[in-house]
Amino acid sequence: MLRLIAAISGIYDAAVGLFLLFGADRMAALFGVAPARPPIFSDLNALFLLAVGAGYYWPWRDPRGARWYLWVMGPGLKGAGAAAFLLDYFVRRQSPASFLLFAASDGTLAVLTLVSLLSSRSEATQPASPLTSGLS
């Protein structure tokens, strides 16, 4: 499950990063906001998302060895991002309701990552049964 979450998260972050890098004005219009000025702000956010997306390669390849990345980027970054979108919307700092889509997607990925990390940890600490360990 961790490998699947790493793949989905990596593709999601890279896709949003590419769309933001090559279509920032269209993305702003889609969400009903003005484009970032100066454009370097959206360019830097795009590069950040591309780097985060590329980083998911390691937990996709080795979910056990790169659990730390999933913890930092899943419950850590995506969870904090979802909370920031919600907080910004509900304290009425001028964020449109369309930004709640990011709260939902980031929040969902954060929760799925957290549940999978906790489940895989408990599975790893369970004693092996004679059937699964090859003993008869």
The per-residue pLDDT for 61 is 97
Q: At what angle do helices 100-125 and 2-30 cross, to 10 degrees?
A: 170
Give domain status of residue 130, yes or no: no
Q: CA-CA distances (angstroms) from residue 98 to 54, 78, 95, 103?
A: 26, 17, 8, 10
The per-residue pLDDT for 95 is 85
Give domain status of residue 54, yes or no: yes
Q: For residue 15, what are the domain limits?
A: 2-122
pLDDT in tens, 80-129: 999 999 999 999 887 899 999 999 999 999 999 999 999 987 655 555 44
Alpha helix (H) ranges present in 31-128?
A: 40-55, 57-61, 67-71, 79-90, 100-125
pLDDT in tens, 35-69: 999 999 999 999 999 999 999 999 999 999 999 99
42-46 long-range contacts (CB < 8 A, ≥24 apart) are 45/17, 45/20, 46/17, 46/18, 46/20, 46/21
Query: What's the number of domains the chain is made of?
Result: 1
Give domain status of residue 55, yes or no: yes
The per-residue pLDDT for 125 is 53
Mean pLDDT across 65-77? 97
Give domain status of residue 134, yes or no: no
Give domain status of residue 108, yes or no: yes
Give domain status of residue 116, yes or no: yes
Res. 73: pLDDT tops 50 = yes
Give domain status of residue 135, yes or no: no
Give domain status of residue 70, yes or no: yes
Give pTM, 2 decimals: 0.84
